[in-house]
Amino acid sequence: MPSRTSPSLQSRARAGLSAGLVVATVGLVVEYVSEPGRFPTVPPGPLILLAAAAVVALVPGRGTPAVGLLAAVRPPTRA
């Protein structure tokens, strides 16, 4: 079944999702630099978000944007 959205709209959506993941990564790095004691030595969050941004931007396929969504959704933390 062909997609209902145009290829240019899909590529813009992928670019926007990838850019959003990179911006979120920058935010996590800033948070880590401001209070490094709250995080592990190598925080996994930025690595996960950058990997998801690369998958969304570089891997063709209809389902790859879901990788970006799943990477951006954080499970609730326990108090």
Q: What is the pLDDT of residues 28-69, one digit of tens each?
A: 999 999 998 888 888 888 999 999 999 999 998 888 889 998
Does the predicted model carry a pTM greater than 0.85?
A: no
In a domain, 2, yes or no: no
Residue 53: which of 69, 39, 42 has the closest Cα? Answer: 69
Q: Which domain holds residue 59?
A: 7-72
User: What was the pLDDT predicted at 2?
Assistant: 55
Q: Cα 72 to the chain's mean position, in Å?
A: 5
Distance CA 13, CA 35 (A): 33
User: What was the pLDDT predicted at 37?
Assistant: 87
In a domain, 77, yes or no: no
The tally of domains found in the chain comes to 1
Please report how the helices 44-58 and 7-34 are oriented relative to each other, as an axis angle in degrees rounded to 10.
170
CB atoms near residue 73 (< 10 Å): 7
